[in-house]
Amino acid sequence: MAAASGAAVWLVVLLAVLLANLPFLNERLFAVGPRRSDKPLAWRLLELVVYAGLVVLVGLALEARQAQVHAQGWQFYAVVLAVFLTLAFPGFVWRYLRRASRTV
């Protein structure tokens, strides 16, 4: 049982890292919608919140498979959103802060 719970934790962490950066790595809406020439930051932030909710749902589903789901207060969701935004930092930097490569 311990190996299964450890694998579940890593699954949620890897899913969170992938989904946190996905809005910044493509121009499609929710990675499957129509391709946009330049997706606005507001769409990217909306996707980020939806993906954070998806990660929470996956985590709760995995928790329900292994044990009784523990009730969470607003503090839990605030921390999850803060951690998700921290995980999204590499994608944000890649999209908005990197310099264009110069060929001389």
Q: What is the pLDDT of residues 16-75, one digit of tens each?
A: 999 999 999 988 888 888 877 788 889 999 999 999 999 999 999 999 998 888 889 999
Per-residue pLDDT, 103 = 61
CA–CA distance, 28 with 35 (Å, rounded to integer) = 4
Residue 50 lies in a domain: yes
Per-residue pLDDT, 104 = 56
pTM of the model: 0.84
Query: Is the pLDDT higher at 92 or at 101?
Result: 92
Per-residue pLDDT, 47 = 94
Number of domains in the chain: 1
Residue 104 lies in a domain: no
Distance between start and end Cα atoms, the chain = 58
Residue 102 lies in a domain: no
Band (pLDDT 50/70/90 cuts) for residue 1 is low
Q: Single out the residue of 57, 69, 72 nearest to residue 16, CA to CA.
A: 57
Per-residue pLDDT, 28 = 86
Residue 64 lies in a domain: yes
Beta carbons within 10 angstroms of residue 15's beta carbon: 15
Per-residue pLDDT, 75 = 95
Q: Is the model's pLDDT at 2 over the cut of 80?
A: no
- For 33, the domain range is 2-97
